Structure 1
Amino acid sequence: MLLTPISRARLRAIGTTLVGALALAACATPTPYQPATGSGFYRNGYADQQIEPNRYQVSFAGNSLTSRETVERYLLYRSAQLTLERGYDYFILADRDTNLRSRTYSTPGVGGFGGWGAGFGWGGWGPAWRYRSPAFGWRTWDPFWGDPFFDRSVDIRTVDKYEAMAEIVLGRGPKPSDNVRAFDARAVLQSLGPSVMEPDTRR
């Protein structure tokens, strides 16, 4: 059976809708406190890397339903947990930052970029990009020129998510009382523990 161009277009639209539905289902709840899974924009959870014997880089990335407050709280919790795992008592935040990461989706998929805006990745995107409209062929969208989708065949939406990162220095004994960036690891776990959402392992 040969497919007409219209049939192929419908199949592509159905496929795009199914992929979008699966992606939304995977992000139906905020990211729980767990080791990172995925990569790049799709990475969710905590990760850490040793830089020096007592210095680590720690991060926590949430999905679009995870608030900035939660992401930063989980970063502190992981820092405290890592501190005790390595046999230390306190950690000092040598550096800390929280980034807003954005990606722009289109439905149905547009352009030669698989539906992504230009300059994808870490919150940056170009002022214009091309997309293919089933009704009008190739067009260009510029966000400064209002709503160009008068044919209503393309839906554009931006997904925002937060990632918090820090470099921590680990120490033993009581935390330095004169350093506001120093945290007692056990106290942090005790204080934040009740608000940490672990993944649901019931299957």
Structure 2
Amino acid sequence: MSRVKTALFSAVALAGLAACSTSTPYGPAVDSRYGFSETQIEQDRWTVSFSGNSLTDLKTVETYLLYRAAELTVQNGYDYFEMIDRKVDEDKELRSVGPSPYSPAFAFRYYSPRWGWRSTFDPYFNDITLREVTRYEGIAEIIMGQGPKPAGNPRVYDAEDVLMNLSGKVMRAPAPY
């Protein structure tokens, strides 16, 4: 029986690691801060956003933002939407890869009869590698409309066309068990 538990635990751990090493899938940001969310401002006006993890590139964030705006438009019974305002925020930070400067590998302990046990850190031991991590979040304000799409405005999108053309580029979140 313990082998079954060990195998099950290993499978769950591997699935968890695999989930951490992929870009943000298309889905609502319910249990995490990554995914899409929206807020209704007026009956036909919404704010839509999509936030990606550090493995989600800028193009994917923009595609998912546009796809969510189209999906929301169709769900509310409208035919087209206009992007009134659209921006993408870029968040960069440096993360250390390797041992922490406060890990035991950096510390030396010694005993002094006068003060007891002491610790000191080696200032010349700096085996730390820094990696730049970038996350993108796209935010758009949209107004939805019914009927034929107004011509001549490049900020107006036909919702059905957007859904049809971008559906092959959308990687959906796996269904919960």
Alpha-carbon contact 2:101-2:126 (below 8 Å) kept = no
Matching residue of 1:75: 65
Q: Does structure 2 conserve the Cα–Cα contact (< 8 Å) formed by 1:57 and 1:166?
A: yes
User: Which deviations, in whole Å up to 9, do the C-alpha atoms of 1:126-182 show, x marking residues without a partner?
Assistant: xxxxxxx9346498xxxxxxxxxx513434333111111100011111111021100
Instruction: State the distance in 2 between where 1:31 and 1:75 align.
Output: 13
Q: What are the equivalent positions in structure 2 for 1:44-123 lying under 5 Å apart?
A: 44-106=34-96, 107-109=98-100
Cα distance in structure 2, aligned partners of 1:59 and 1:153: 39
Gaps of 5+ in 1: 1-21, 112-132, 140-149
Q: Distance between the aligned counterparts of 2:122 and 2:42, measured in 1?
A: 52
Residue among 135, 141, 146 paired with 1:167: 141
Cα gap change, 1:138/1:49 in structure 2, threshold over 3 Å: closer, same or farther?
Answer: farther
Q: Is 1:179 aligned with 2:159?
A: no
What secondary structure, in the 3-state scheme, does the structure 1 residue paired with 2:165 have? helix
Residues 23, 56 of structure 2: 8 Å contact kept? yes
Answer yes or no: is the 8 Å Cα contact 1:27–1:64 preserved in 2.
no
What's the CA shift string for 1:41-85, capped at 9, x where partnerless? xx1110000111111100111111111111100100000000011
Does the 8 Å contact 2:106/2:125 carry over to 1?
no
Find the aligned partners of 1:167 and 1:83 in 2 and give their Cα distance.
12
Name the structure where strand makes up a greater proportion of residues: 2
User: What's the TM-score, normalizing by structure 1?
Assistant: 0.64
| Identity between Structure 1 and Structure 2 (%) | 45
Distance 2:20 2:92 in 1: 15
Name the SS for the 1:30 alignment partner.
coil
Q: What is the SS of the residue equivalent to 1:179? A: coil
